[in-house]
Structure 1
Amino acid sequence: QVLENQFADGQTNYLYYKGSNLLTKLRLYPLILLAVIGIYMLISYMAFSNARRSEQNKVWTGMAKETAHQIGTPLSALMGWITYLKEQYPKEIAFGEMEKDIDRLTEITDRFSKIGSQPELSDLKLNQTISRTADYLSTRLGKKISLTTKLEIENNVQHNGQLISWVLENMIKNAADALEGEGEITIRKETAAAEVHLFISDNGKGIPANDQRKIFQPGFTTKSRGWGLGLSLAKRIIEDYHQGKVVLVESGTQLGTTFKITLPKA
């Protein structure tokens, strides 16, 4: 750099100077310090978030396994009593229906026990899993709510039947709540080259726009009852256990709501 000095006799003196290496480094020091602080804050935030998420997962897993254990003990006794009553009164039809409900409770208990561990995936027929779930729920949603399945040709998909059924139940029950006693729910399956897509749709009231980003967060609910775990659990089962994807496709007052589940083909 040049510094120009004018003297009284009209002469001009030019002073050439250059900052030292030390001054150059000192000039960069505040920027480097800010960058280091920023990186430290980012790492601290990520570590805190991971620790918090890990703690939440442990609490969730512990609660699920404890629930399975607590339910399982009296359930075993009930199964014994039903077996005894069927032997004593073989013509009583009601005991058979009671046995079906107890088998259902046993399946639910088994679902809870799988939370927190890597479940076994089998090469199963996906249509059978969907149809079995739909058949069970169709008579339990309400007289004015119809549940329809539109399934393409059967595909074998690596999945855990109990957990996928759990996902479908949660999403179908949410759809039924949105219908408020009357409407239609549809489960539609489409097959791509390497994936299978399931669309769960309803013609209900839709999800408010400002709530759509939060629907997969644990504990978030717009209902007066419930824990707000259904969709977050569905997301965990599909994405963590089955390496798939679950997304909200669309939702609105005139559109109803549509979710899409993507599963890799076997």
Structure 2
Amino acid sequence: MRIIDKTVLAKYIFIAVAVILAVSFLVMSNRMYNDMAKEERQKIELWAKAVQLVATGEDNTELDLTLTILSGNKTIPVVLCDEHNTVLMTANIDIPDNDSVHFLKKKIDSFRKSNSPIVIQNPNFKQIVYYGDSSVLKRLQYFPFVQIGVLTVFICVSFLALLSTKNAEQNKVWVGLSKETAHQLGTPISSMLAWVEYLKSQATDISALQEMEKDVSRLQVVADRFSKIGSKPAPENKELCKEIRTSVGYLQTRISKKVLFEFDLPEKPLHVMISTALFSWVIENLIKNAVDAMEGQGTIYITVTSKGNIAYLDITDTGKGMSKSMFKQVFSPGYTTKTRGWGLGLSLAKRIINEYHNGKIYVRNSEISVGTTFRIELPIV
């Protein structure tokens, strides 16, 4: 399983656990709400029974008990009306001094929608009890949403912390691997330089030695690139088009002759702040990926434009292309469609452009069986 697959799987598991917890909170809170609503209903039914007993005028002992029940309701808002909906009594409702009739009418309508009224049937008349939810029950109604909000914040913070830790670990691995690679390359490169000098003294074919020198110099550049990963390189003022031609020129002689290059570069110089060793690495990565996408046959278009203080470099191939869902995924560490390689090329390219050159790199567009365009944005000096 690729690194990216494991990361995606971990995200899905994390989200699934969060959803399960959220649903559990909702179910438990809803059950508590229903139980409390039933309990309040029973209290109001008892309160209505007490009202009925007072109206029928039973003996004093029972009257004392009913009055105790009536005065015991301190939380549930109640309106007692006759059969014509004329208000007879209220409890736990703050009534304004002005327009009390209209206010109570609105309250009755509200209570009727939230709870079924209780009818008190006396021998000579009928009364109706309208009631609303207590403040405790109302708070309980919104409590699960508060829980979900707190849980969401906690999950987001935990997820960001986990992601930050993972990125830090990946960075340490990349930096350590890069510096160790540079160190390991140092010895054979020095040896090869000595052998080149020796062959020169033996009157060996000069043209062959020149090519060997180019490759040894290239190895030195590669070692220099790896040594710069993890440290902040000092960018220099460079002419963008010249740097592009230099980077592409080395590759042109070492890839298939069936791959054609077409340049559309401005005549006016565009100066940008770059680290030559790292920037050329990005260009080579994109070119090699383009060659692989075209399976060693096709055309690579290199275009440079500018707008305002931004220079745009587009590298377009005529390869197999990709779906839109892969535009961001291709820059993830470990992502690769090749049978060999670690899938770090585009990930490192993104880091080099974003962190070391204050620029951007992304897939501008791509079509299956048509080709792909990668774009690099760099600030102009």
**Alignment of 1:241 onto 2:328:** no
| Aligned equivalents of 2:181, 2:247: Cα separation in 1 | 23
Which fold has the larger relative contact order, with Cα–Cα distance below 8 Å and residues 6 or more apart in sequence? 1
Are 1:256 and 2:371 counterparts? yes
Distance of 2:190 and 2:334 partners within structure 1: 31
Corresponding residue SS for 1:191: strand
Name the structure 1 match of 2:276.
161
Where does residue 100 of structure 1 map in the other structure? 214
Gaps of 5+ in 1: none
What is the CA distance between 1:145 and its match in structure 2? 0.9
1:200 maps to which of 315, 339, 347? 315
Q: Look up the match of 1:114.
A: 228
Equivalent of residue 177 in structure 2, options 63, 67, 70: 63
Identify the range of structure 1 (11-20 vs 164-173) with the bigger mean alpha-carbon deviation: 11-20
Aligned 8 A contact 1:200 1:258 in 2: yes
User: Which residue number corresponds to residue 2 of structure 1?
Assistant: 78
Cα offset, 1:28, TM superposition: 4.7
* 2:298 corresponding residue in structure 1: 183
Q: Which amino acid aligns with 1:77?
A: S
Q: Which amino acid aligns with 2:262?
A: T
Q: Return the letter of the residue paired with 1:175.
A: A
CA distance in 2, matches of 1:15, 1:104: 88
Verify: 1:87 aligned to 2:201, yes or no: yes
Q: Distance in 1 between matches of 2:226 and 2:192?
A: 19
Contact preservation (8 Å) 2:313, 2:376: yes
Task: Give 2:99's aligned residue.
Answer: none
CA 1:33–1:252 in structure 2 vs 1: closer, same or farther (change >3 Å)? closer
Query: Greater CA deviation, 27-36 or 153-162?
Result: 27-36
Q: 2:258 & 2:204 partners in 1: Cα distance?
A: 36
Residue 180 of structure 1 and its aligned partner are, at CA, apart by 1.5
Equivalent residue number for residue 149 of structure 1: 263
CA separation of 1:12/1:184 partners in 2, compared to 1, >3 Å: closer, same or farther? same
Deviations along 1:207-249, one digit per CA (max 9) or x if unpaired, are 2455444211111111222221221111111112111111112
1:121 and 1:158 in contact (8 A); partners too: yes
- Compare the two structures and name the one with the higher helix fraction: 2
Query: Please, which runs of 5 or more residues in structure 2 have no aligned partner?
Result: 1-76, 81-118
Residue in 2 that maps onto 1:136: 250
What RMSD in Å do the two structures reach over aligned CA positions?
A: 2.2
* Paired residue total: 265
2:336 corresponds, among 215, 221, 224, to 221
Following TM superposition, by how much is the alpha carbon of 1:38 offset from its aligned partner in structure 2, in angstroms?
2.4
Normalising by structure 2, we get a TM-score of 0.64
How far did residue 86 of structure 1 move? Answer: 2.0
Q: After superposition, what is the alpha-carbon deviation per residue over 1:11-38, rounded to whole angstroms, capped at 9, x for unaligned?
A: 6376878835x66555554443332222
Assess, with a 3 A threshold, how the Cα gap between structure 1 residues 184 and 121 changes in structure 2: closer, same or farther: same
TM-score where L is the length of structure 1? 0.90
Matched-pair identity in %? 43
Distance in 1, Cα, partners of 2:259 & 2:130:
90
Summarize the Cα distance change of 1:222–1:6 in structure 2 as closer, same or farther, 3 Å threshold: same
Deviation at 1:172, TM superposition (A): 0.5
The answer on 1:34 being equivalent to 2:110 is no
Contact 1:131 1:149 in 2 (8 A): no
